[in-house]
Structure 1
Amino acid sequence: MSVELDLFPHIERLAYAVGEAPNVSAQLKMVPEDFIVEEVLGFSPSGEGEHLYIHVKAIDYNTEFLLSHIAKGLGVSKKSVVYSGLKDRYAVASQWFSVHLPGNAHIDLSPIENENVTVLEAARNLKKLRRGAHRGNQFTIRLKNMVCDAEQKVVINDRITLIQKEGFPNYFGPQRFGRNENNIASAMRSVESGKSPKKRFQRSITFSALRSLLFNISLSERISDGTWKDALEGDVFALSGTESFFVPNNSDDEEKTSVATRLASGDIAVAGVLYGDGELPQAGIAAKKLLATFAPYSSIMEFLVSQRVAMSVRPYSVLPKDLSYEWESSDVLKLSFFLPKGVFATSLLRELVVC
């Protein structure tokens, strides 16, 4: 285990799409209003049913704390309240919750509201909200105290333009791994013992940290050898903005041409694996490369299989929608963009500045 732990923290070792780390620093989240995230549900509640959907804007509340706040305000158990996606604490975040409240009586939502929490809208629905049900998130971010000259600004502008055209590496951001990557260290103790935590929430953190670590390392390897956006024999591909993937017929020249065209347009992306129990979706050269990359982490792989964590895939690259930027002053850069669910805004920022 010590050999594996010597590689941590791993985030700072990951390869950059542009080949080198940014040489401009910036401050992120000096105030919550510097990081605005708006959850886009992607569908409308039906207007009837025993589940009340509540769209809430919160300042300086993380999702779990906000869930507890809603449960207490409405006098229900925390198990009755569910959310679709997790949001950071030090931010202005709007997101959806659903609360199991049978009956058609009017529900007073005023106990939820305070100087930091506002109810934006509410409507009933037949089914409760599911984890990951939202389509994505709209971000508005301000990077402040940027010390850069005219030439460095040109470099940053060029990198933004490149991301607009070609996307950025779909790394799991540092939020996934906890402060100082403590989630990884904790997860490795489970690997060493061969036992996962008893509490469901802690099990989820353990499995997520380990699978995200392996994914990041495999993506970094593909970036380093220049193949993170190019198909290798045996690769699988993810459909942009969805959880669907497909395996092309490599013997069909017409399909090969179609894959290349769709990769160039951003309609699809080469997919890596979130390792677990099951058959590896990649084959041939892609599978061999993946397994060679994972070889030093065999204990993690064996643990995930033993815990019956299902194998799945994740795209290596992401093309943000409606990415725009504005220099609000000489040292403040404002960015706005939409990302599919599960994609980290900090992974986009990582390509531009050190923060």
Structure 2
Amino acid sequence: MSTDSFEASQKRSDAIREEIAKNPGKFTMLTGDRPTGRLHLGHYFGTIKERVALQNLGITTRVVIADYQVITDRDTTGAIRDNVYNMVIDYMACGLDPEKTTIFTHSAVPALNQLMLPFLSLVSEAELMRNPTVKSEQEASGRALSGLLLTYPVHQACDILFCKGNIVPVGKDQLPHIEQARLIARRFNERYDRVFLEPEGLLNDVCEIPGLDGRKMSKSYGNAISLCLTEAETAKLIKKSQTDSERFITYDKENRPGVSALLTTAAICTGRSEVDIAEEIGNAGSGALKAYVTESVNGYLAPIRERRRELEGDMDFVREVIHEGNKQANAIANETLAQVSDAMGMTY
């Protein structure tokens, strides 16, 4: 993405944030996650915290658990049911309210997925092939490009457009997906009839959350602090993290990735800066740093964990949240598909 187009997207995003503060009811937000494992601090500070804030402002909020997208880059759905249930528990423990937010799964909403057929006719092979996110995900998986991964951005457009979503919280690297959805909406409206809004990316300014080894926090890297961990499990994980042989603690991302990752983890949980924390610990060494990080993370996650334990003890409620969310999503998707069929002259 060029600097000019990013700056234009940032300008539109800033204007939307101003409008949200004045009139949140005019916005519908769609966002979601793949249930490939447990949600972690990177998910929380990167996306979930903002979803909760936007929900609480009064925006219509839809969250998709993208279970079909699990098989874009893997051969099995594995422990998907357990992952889905735990994802719903994490969402609610973090503050998503099923009374305000529709939480649903891809596989339970046939009409949403049926939008793939007309939408695929609106994009070219070349447009699919040059999406940078598809390329990076294929390279990361080390696998042949599947048809589902190639059409992943079109499936995401279905997620956004089926519920007439007009904002999607994203980072800079996800903007190409929003552009694809905007393009599909525009082409459908021009070719058939005006059914869809053109969604906008709501850019966040959250820094990349590092894992315990200094790389991006990721389930696949095994460097994540999952929201479902106990206090003791969190302490053990942080204690095992790699630092370096230098005793004096300083913040230096390039030369001291392990130490700097721990400092950033503490900073996001306390609201302090990495430099201030490093100066406070000083010559006390990595042991003191790890103790501070453990205390900061466990203190921040304490209310989330308490709510998590309550929800784990009421799985009937968790299942009911999914069933009710799927019911709501189906009603929305069926109505949108009917509008699409009418616009295409396919109502018989």
User: TM range, normalised to the smaller chain?
Assistant: under 0.3
Q: Looking at secondary structure, tell me which structure has more helix per residue.
A: 2
